[in-house]
Amino acid sequence: MELTFAAACEDARARPDGKLDLSGIFNELTAPGFPAVQDRLTVVFVLSWDATDSGEVRLRADLNDDEGQTVLSIEGHTDVTPAPPGRPPAQTRLVLPLEEVVFPHAGRYTFEVQAGDRRFRSFSLYVSAVDEDAGPV
């Protein structure tokens, strides 16, 4: 199994044809002060499974700060059906809209994804204070 794609974005949708549409991918947020609340964001994780993977697999995604403290956890499961020989590997595509995400302080926050007994470091979000002295970009 491998984590083949992961991102934070403004919006994402899974299409009936199996494709994903993502809008507004980002890795940086600014806030006027801390703790900061992000009203809405969407996280996307795509997992590709080995031919030996099958059945129900527990999933967990933890958002950890730069000191290793978990500030958000998402838990669930997926049912894996191995792909037939000669076909691309089975995939799980997770599109998770999140609301009212609290960032206790400025810094780097990283998602770690666990699938069964395997754990993967995913993408990071960088959260900083708004620089009020800087002009428009």
**18 has pLDDT over 90:** no
Q: Give me the domain span that covers residue 96.
A: 2-129
Q: Domain for residue 135, yes or no?
A: no
- What confidence score (pLDDT) does residue 76 get? 97
Range scoring the smallest mean pLDDT among 31-40, 83-92, 96-105, 120-129: 83-92
Q: Domain for residue 77, yes or no?
A: yes
Q: Domain for residue 83, yes or no?
A: yes
Report the CATH number at residue 11: 2.70.50.60
20-38: b (≥16 Cβ within 10 Å) or e: eebeeeeeebebeeeebeb
Summarize pLDDT for 107-137 with one digit per residue, the tens: 999 999 999 999 999 999 999 999 766 555 4
* Residue among 23, 8, 24 at smallest CA distance from 74: 8
- How many domains does the chain contain in total? 1
CA distance 8 to 10: 7
